[in-house]
Amino acid sequence: MSETRILVTGGAGFIGSHLVRRLLDEGHEVLVVDNFYSGSRANLADVLHDPRLEIVRHDVTFPLYVEVDEIYHLACPASPVFYQRDPVQTTKTSVVGSINMLGLAKRTKAKILLSSTSEVYGDPQVHPQDESYWGHVNPIGIRSCYDEGKRCAETLFFDYRRQHDLPIKVARIFNTYGPMMRPDDGRVVSNFIVSALRGEPLTIYGDGTQTRSFCFVDDLVDGLIRLMRTPHEVTGPINLGNPHEFTMTELAEKVIAMVDTGVGVEYHPLPSDDPTQRQPDITQARGVLGWEPKVQLAEGLTTTVDYFRRQLAAQSVG
């Protein structure tokens, strides 16, 4: 495969850092653009020496003038803790950031992929969710900055396609977990693991019957790369996620058994607009990309628990 210069916005974040490693392993030049709001240079510590990696501190809500062949547009905080902290900036990142990256793609004739989200489906009334479902989203709630920001980003991508014949790809990413997650990001897998490792009760919001589907990050990155390499006529949106559904109670029980610190569970009220079900229909991913997740939850959780155990041990030494 010929060497390509690839821009990854949000490349110092959780998913972005894994994607950057994969692209470097394949021999590409990689330009990481990140404002480090929720990402961290430490996520790329093991590849900082690579001469094909360049990291630029930049906010995508401002234009960027570089020469690239492909753009993976991942920039945007994806955990409620971070995107609700500055909701106006979250919407700007999705909307203005997408306009800037699409403009860059148009100028450089680069292929561009948007990391959209299952949150475009809102609290779904269709189960499982396939790409033809338009969603059930509150436009004025506390999660709307992210949900509607990503919906608008998808609109922009398809309008650039229709108006300028831009080679776009849109991936709708479902719950993803693995090493490089922040311990304070407020997502359920990291919350459960960190609480268990600290010997604290796991917090379940609601009655524990709401469901999620958990995809290990290595599988997700493979799906993104496969989507980017599809022919021009393939645009998506394509769901990328694990179709195996688990309740919050089932996930808590798995983490407690794995960490084995004898902790219990506490129940708290369900946050506003928190979806009760989330499960991808990945028929398109299987058919178009030849992709489906390979890492089972037990295997992925073991790797993730080991990562957080090392992180917390390093913090206690420091």
pLDDT tens digits for 112-142? 999 999 999 998 899 899 999 999 999 999 9
Determine which of 137-151, 155-169, 228-242, 271-285 has the lowest per-residue pLDDT on average: 271-285
Closest alpha carbon to 266 in 213, 203, 199:
203
Query: Is the pLDDT at 317 greater than 70, yes or no?
Result: no
pLDDT at residue number 1: 45
Average pLDDT of span 284-289: 98
Query: Is the pLDDT at 287 greater than 60, yes or no?
Result: yes
DSSP code, position 285:
I
Given the residues 146, 160, 267, 307, the one annotated as active site:
146
146 carries an active-site annotation: yes
- Residue identified by tokens 């897998």 is 189
Domains of the chain, with CATH numbers? 5-180+215-242+279-294 (3.40.50.720)
pLDDT at residue number 318: 57
Task: Look up residue 227 and give its two tokens.
Answer: 């989507």
For residues 30, 36, 41 and 43, what is the CA-based torsion angle, rounded to 10 degrees? -90
Average pLDDT of span 230-245: 96
Distance (Å, whole) CA 112 – CA 98:
10
